[in-house]
Structure 1
Amino acid sequence: MKAFLVALLAAVLCAQQVSSLFCYICDNEHSNWNCMKTYKCEDHEKYCTTTYSTAGIGKDMGHRITKKCSVDCPETNVNFGLAAYSTKCCSTSLCNFSGANSIRINYAVVLLGIVGSLICVLRVGL
C-alpha cells in the first residue's frame, strides 16, 4: 500500500499541469446573443478578447462584436467621432461573456468636425 501511495504521489508531482482556457467566440456579429459559442483555446493562447465597434449616427448606427482566443492582450479604445473601436481582454475561462465594452460615439467631436468644415467652406467661398 505504501508503494502505491508513493507512486501516486510521484505521478501527481511529476504530471504536467493542464490549464485549458475556454473563450466565447464569434466573428463580426450584430448581437452578443450570437456570441455564445465556446471554444477551447490553443495552449499558446492565454487571453480571451472582445472587440466592439460602432459606426454611424442615430438610427443608422451599426454595432459589431468579435470574440476570440488571443496570444497577446491588445487592449484598445479609439473614438473617431462617427466610429469607435474597443478591444478588451481577460485571462480566465469564459471571461469574455459580456459584449458591452465601454465605447460611445462622442457627439461633441462630431459637432466640432462639422463646425470646422463649415468654417473652412465659408472661408474658401469668401
Structure 2
Amino acid sequence: MAALYVSLLLAALCIGTAVPLQCYTCMGYPVNCLTPTDCRSYGLYCQTIVTSDWGFRGVVKFCAPSCTPGNISTGTGTISTFCCRTNLCNVSGATGVKYSYPALGLSLGFLLVLLRSSAL
C-alpha cells in the first residue's frame, strides 16, 4: 500500500511539468513590466536582465533555455542577470526562493498518509 502512495506522490509532483512555464516578458522597459507569456518547450528559465548606466535603467525579461545569474560592472554602471524556474517568478529583478504551496501541501498530505498507514 505504501508503494501506491509513493507512486501517487511522484505522479502528482510531475503533473506541473506538462504545462509550459510562464514568464513575464518585455524588452528595454525603463520600469518593471508585467506581460505574461507561455514559454513553450524552449523556456526552462525566466530570465531578467537589469541594466543601469549613467543614471538610466533598463529591464529586459524573457524565456530562456539556460540562465546564469550574476552581476557585471561596466565601469559606468552594472548589468544584473536574475534566473528562476517557476511560473511568473520574474515579477521583479530580485532573486529569492519561490515555493509551490499546492505541491508542498500535497507532499505533506501524502507523507502523513504514508506515516499513518505504516503505523497500522
The two structures share one fold, judged by TM-score above 0.5: yes
Residue deviations 1:18-57, cap 9 Å, x none? Answer: 131000001010000xx1110000213100000000001x
- Give unmatched runs, 5+ long, in structure 2: 1-10, 96-120
Deviation at 1:91, TM superposition (A): 0.4
Per the alignment, in what secondary structure is the counterpart of residue 43 of structure 1? helix
What is the RMSD computed on CA atoms of the aligned residues?
Answer: 2.1
- Please report the TM-score for the alignment, with normalisation by the length of structure 2: 0.61
State the match for 1:48 in structure 2: 46
Contact 1:51–1:65 under 8 Å retained in 2: yes
Q: State which structure, 1 or 2, has the greater radius of gyration over its C-alpha atoms.
A: 1
| One of 55, 66, 69 as aligned partner of 1:75 | 69
Gaps (5+ residues) in structure 1?
1-11, 102-126
SS of equivalent to 1:96? coil
| CA–CA distance in structure 2, aligned partners of residues 80 and 94 of structure 1 | 29
Q: Distance in 2 between matches of 1:28 and 1:64?
A: 5
State the percentage of identical aligned residues.
Answer: 32
Q: Which residue of 2 aligns with 1:26?
A: 26
Distance between the aligned counterparts of 1:88 and 1:23, measured in 2? 12
Contact 1:52–1:85 under 8 Å retained in 2? yes
Q: Secondary structure at the match of 1:95?
A: coil
For the residues of structure 2 that align with 1:62 and 1:90, how far apart are their CA atoms? Answer: 25
**Equivalent of 1:95 in 89, 92, 110:** 89
Aligned residues: 81
SS in 1 for 2:23: strand
| Whole-angstrom distance in 2 between the partners of 1:67 and 1:52 | 9
Maintained 8 Å contact 1:52/1:100 = no
Compare relative contact order (CA 8 Å, sep 6+) and give the higher one, 1 or 2. 2
TM-score, normalised via structure 1 length: 0.58
Cα deviations across residues 41-96 of structure 1 (Å, max 9, x unaligned)? 0213100000000001xxxx100000000000122211133121011100000000
Tell me which amino acid in the other structure corresponds to 2:23: C
